[in-house]
Amino acid sequence: MTRNENDVIISLMSRVVSPFIMLFALYVIFHGHYSPGGGFQGGTMLAAAVILVRLAVGNDLAQKQFPRAWATPLGSVGVLIYWGTGFTALVFGGNFLDYKFLPLAMEAAWRRHFGILSIEVGVGLAVMGILTAIYDDLLEGDPRG
């Protein structure tokens, strides 16, 4: 994280690879209905893409990709999406987290389909934010940081 900051090959390759890792992570999240994957796995890959750039180009320069101050709020937003989906179902007359009652204009099974998608996105954002935040918090104690 400090020694190779000026290495052109490592810096360039990580900057090229990082968006593709993010793209594949989005695929893992949104294709979780049909293949192995889901919010936890995709969120971990999103965090891996962010941490890769932090490791390769140094923590200060990597703030331009994903600022340190966003990480913990992003995790909270993910948890809020999950709880918000649950409470939306509650407000519209169902039980907590009963996606059948979400206000979407389609049949009940498809409402549950998209309720699952909504909470997978929430889980993905939360895992990405928290893993990045833990990395940044650990780096804060590093005198070379």
Partner 1 sequence: MRGRVLSLAALAGFAGLLIYASFGLPNRGDASAALNGPLSPAGTPNAATHYIRNPERDAKTPNMVTVILADYRGYDTMGEETVILTAGLICFLILRRTRSRP
Helices (H), the chain: 8-30, 39-57, 59-62, 68-91, 108-140
Distance in Å, CB of 62 to partner 1, minimum: 18
22, 61, 79, 90: which one binds partner 1 (CB under 8 A): 79
Segment contacting partner 1 by CB under 8 A, of 10-18, 26-34, 49-57, 58-66:
26-34
Distance, in Å, from the CA atom of 27 to the CA atom of 43, rounded to the nearest integer, reads 11
Contact 122, 79 (CB under 8 A): yes
- Taking contact as CB under 8 A, which single stretch among the options 8-16, 32-40, 47-55, 59-67 is the one that binds partner 1? 32-40
Assess contact for 38 and 119: CB atoms under 8 A. Answer: no
Non-local CB neighbours of 109 within 8 Å, separated by 6+ positions = none
Q: How far is the CB of 54 from partner 1 (least distance, A)?
A: 16
Which region, judged by CB under 8 A, interacts with partner 1, from 3-11, 18-26, 55-63, 115-123?
Answer: 115-123
Minimal distance in Å, beta carbon 12 to partner 1?
31
At 57, the amino acid letter reads: V
Give residues 93-112 in contact with partner 1 (rule: CB under 8 A).
97, 99, 109-110, 112
Q: Name the DSSP class of 4.
A: T
